[in-house]
Amino acid sequence: MIEDYFMFLKKVATKNPSVTEFRLIREFIDVKKGFIRFVIELRDGSELHVFEYIDSDLSAQDRLLISLAEQREEVDNKMGQCASSLRN
């Protein structure tokens, strides 16, 4: 599940038209823990540094799924806002 979430983050970062460069700094995935760090460069030359750390209790899968869904929605919203502000 952590691997799926990190793959989602990388996909969102690389597929966004406002992103000109994606640099993966580090990624670690274990059964219950994981972290990812990457930098994206936007068309205006600014950089967004992302560091995500997850420490999950896999026996509480429902809580993890809710958290992932909320985080995905937040990432989508922020990337959309970024793209909108660059167009203006």
pLDDT in tens, 27-53: 999 888 898 999 999 999 999 898 888
Locate the domains of the chain by residue range: 2-87
Whose tokens are 């597929």? That residue is 15
pTM of the model: 0.61
Pairing relation of β-strands 19-29 and 47-55?
A: unpaired
Query: What is the distance between the terminal CA atoms of the chain, rounded to a whole angstrom?
Result: 37
pLDDT band, very low/low/confident/very high, at 57 (cuts 50, 70, 90) = low
Distance CA 2, CA 10 (A): 12
Element (H, E) at 74: helix 61-87
Contact in structure between 58 and 64 (CB atoms under 8 Å): yes
Tell me the mean pLDDT in the region 6-19: 91
Residue 18 has pLDDT above 60, yes or no: yes
For domain 2-87, the CATH architecture is Roll (3.10)
